Structures are given as structure tokens and as C-alpha cells.
Amino acid sequence: MLVDSFGRMATDLRVSLTDRCNLRCTYCMPPEGLDWLPKPELLTADEIIRLVGIGVERLGITEVRFTGGEPLLRRELVEIVTATAAFGPRPQISLTTNGIGLARLAGPLAEAGLDRVNVSLDTLDAATFVRLSHRDRLPDVLAGLAAADRVGLRPVKVNTVLMRGVNEDEAVPLLRYCLDKGYELRFIEQMPLDAQHGWQRENMITADEILGRLNGAFELTEDDPGERGSAPAELFLVDGGPQRVGVIGSVTRPFCGACDRVRITADGQVRNCLFATEESDLRAALRGGATDDDLAERWMAAVRGKKAGHGIDDPAFLQPARPMSAIGG
Ligand code: SAM
């Protein structure tokens, strides 16, 4: 099992399939994009499938989330999901995506065994979408969401990052939209993971501010906190429920004590925390002929060294060298 020195067990695996993205969200990367990983450095589909299999069949992984970069850009995505669904015990399989291309791929992904999706949507305004992501693709995202819902990739969850002076006034309209469509909205505090290192605490819209804005328009009551477990989102019933909204206060309300996540980057590095400054190279081991036992051993050692918390509030905090897009959010 993947247990750290504080007794936390990693059961939720986030696998980044590519560091490339077709949007340029300002909280993630600069408008010109980044130097993408050269193809030979990316894990192949077979390598990804092998590692996922080791995680599920030997190391107690029960949930696999594919992410990126933009995972829909990975040509072998359907093949990778199909192979993941064949491992036993069958893990829950989900995808974090910006939704571009999901209108076409939702059906094949559901057939392959994908259980649900998280779609990122920060605005309902086309001009703000362009300002925020440097691409004019809002209709594609909304079509992707609708397709996911239609083929049953439910609950369809929506991730929103609010930014001061950009989309901070959209908390209420976004929640109304999601309630109307039957999607479950989660607001995420902006974290210091942008490639430009432009994050500033005073510009972050905090969980308290988000709740303040929502409370003006809806009646929010805390959903059974005993049920939260390792989930990053604090959940609230909206107007008595059953529909809910979540707030992920990664910075101001950290949940590291209950963290059950471990990540593999698109180039095969194990990261035991989003904010880790050290990684363990499974790709070199894979390509050097390591056995499944060797790989499992390295992976366990990587998790054992996980720190107690992300330390954003620590004066000695250092932003990781990898931006979010190259880690896998
Ligand atoms: N491209 C996919 C997408 O847009 O969902 C998957 C990768 S993206 C890095 C995953 C999630 O991380 C998105 O919901 C995005 O909004 C979020 N994200 C990216 N940078 C962030 C930051 N600096 N702070 C908080 N969330 C961030």
C-alpha cells in the first residue's frame, strides 16, 4: 500500500497524460504557452497502462483520474481508459478536462469505462473567456459539458477558479447555471502553481469571499461534514438541497491531513503532493527494465516521504518548479 510516514494512505491516483493544453488560462501559463515536453520524454500509452495496473492491482489505488495539460489531446485516451477499466478491483475512473473536444469524445469515453468528468469553466461570458484563456472556445466547453451529461458521465462536476477583477462577479451566475443544468459546481482557490510565478495572495479570492458572495443569493447549509473524508471540497446544500456546491480552499483551508492523492506526471515522475519539490523517476526505472516489484517499491518509497502539509503559509515556502499544467491538476 502507498502509506506515508503520517499514516495517510494514497488511494486516489492522478495521471497526467500530456503537459500540452489548447487553452492558456492566465492562472496556469503565459499566453505564448510553454516549452512542451519532447515526445520521447512522455510515457507511452503502454507505460501509462502498466503503471496504472501496478497502482490498482498491487498498491491499493481505487480511483484513477486522468488529467494534464489537456487529457483530451492525448490520442490514446480511449485506449488508456479501456485498459484501466479492465484492472481489478475495477477503479473509479474520471477525467479533468477543459471540455474542448468532449462533445465528440464523451460517448466513446463512456463506452470505454469512464465514470465521470470534471470540466473547468471559469466564466459564462464569451469575452471574459477569451480574456482568461486567450482562446475563443466557450461554446465548445458548454457543448462538451452537455455531451458528458447526455451520455451519463455523472455527476458532471464543474471546476471554477475566481480571479479578482476578472470573473469574481460570476460566482452567482455560474452556480445558477450549474443548478439549472444539474451539474455540481466547485470553486477552487487560486494556488501558486502558475508558470509565470504571478500568484499573489492578496489577489486570490478566498473560500470565505466565495461563500460570502453565494450566501447573498442562496441559502447554503453545510452538508454533513462527517461525510467529507478525503474530499478536497467542503460541500454545501443549496437552498435546502439536494443540489450542492463545493468550495476547495486549498490555500486558506488546507486539507493535507486527509490527503489521499498521489500523482504521476506525463513524463513518469511520481509526485506525492501538488507542491512537492522532489519527484521520483519511474520512467527511468521502467525504461531500464525494472520489474513490477521494483516499480512498486520505488512508488511506495516516494509516497513514504510525503510532507505533513503543502506549507504555502510557511515563510520558507517555495513554489514547485513545475507549473500546474506539467504536474497534472
Ligand atoms: N486541462 C484540464 C482542465 O482544464 O481541467 C486539466 C488540467 S487543469 C491544470 C486542472 C484544473 O486545475 C483545472 O480545473 C484548472 O482550473 C485548475 N488550475 C490550474 N491552475 C490552477 C491554479 N493556479 N490554482 C487553482 N487551480 C488551478
Return the pLDDT at 231: 84
Q: Does residue 72 contact residue 20 with C-beta atoms inside 8 Å? A: no
Q: Is 158 assigned a ligand-binding role in the annotation? A: no
Q: Determine which residue's CA is closest to atom 4 belonging to ligand 1.
A: 98
Which three-class secondary structure state does DSSP give residue 207? helix
State mean pLDDT over 169-186. 98
Q: What is the pTM of this model?
A: 0.97
Task: For 66-103, write each residue's pLDDT tens digit.
Answer: 999 999 999 999 999 999 999 999 999 999 999 999 99
Rounded to whole angstroms, the Cα distance separating 97 from 79 reads: 17
**pLDDT digits over 129-140, tens only?**
999 999 999 999
Tens of pLDDT, residue by residue over 260-280, are 999 999 999 999 999 999 999
pLDDT score at 226 = 75
Q: How far is the CA of 328 from the centre of ligand 1 (A)?
A: 8
- Residue located nearest, by CA, to atom 8 of ligand 1: 329
Does 27 count as an annotated binding residue?
yes
| Residue 262 counted as an annotated binding residue | yes
Closest approach atom of ligand 1 to CA 193: 23
| Ligand 1 pocket list (CB less than 6 A) | 21, 27-28, 67-68, 70, 96-98, 120, 159, 161, 188, 190-191, 193-194, 324-325, 329
CA of 272 to the centre of ligand 1 (A): 18
Is 246 annotated for ligand binding?
Answer: no
Measure 122 CA to ligand 1 centroid, in angstroms: 10
Q: Which residues contact 258 (CB under 8 A, 6 or more apart)?
A: 8, 228, 229, 230
Q: Hey, what's the torsion of the CAs at 92, 84, 29, 206, to 10 degrees?
A: 10
Nearest Cα residue to atom 19 of ligand 1 = 28
Query: Residue 93's beta-bridge partner residues?
Result: 64
Q: Which of 161, 199, 322 to mutate to test the pocket of ligand 1 (most atoms within 8 A of CB)?
A: 161
Centre of ligand 1 to C-alpha 82, Å, is 25
Residue 329 banded pLDDT, cuts 50, 70, 90: confident
Atom of ligand 1 nearest to the CA of 70: 1
Ligand 1 mean position to 324 CA, how many Å? 7
- Whether the pLDDT of residue 227 is over 80: the answer is no
Instruction: Grade residue 314 by pLDDT with cuts at 50, 70 and 90.
Output: confident
Q: What per-residue confidence (pLDDT) applies to 212?
A: 97
Which residue's CA is the nearest one to ligand 1's atom 26? 190
Amino acid letter, residue 59: L
Q: What are the DSSP calls for 264-281, one per residue?
A: E-TTSEEESSTT-S--EE
Residue 177 confidence (pLDDT) above 90? yes
172: left (phi over 0), alpha (psi -120 to 50) or beta: alpha
Place of cell 443548478: 179
User: Separation of 6 CA from ligand 1 center, angstroms?
Assistant: 28
273 annotated as ligand-binding: yes
The length of the chain is 329
SS3 61: coil
Instruction: State mean pLDDT over 174-202.
Output: 96
Average confidence (pLDDT) over 54-65: 98
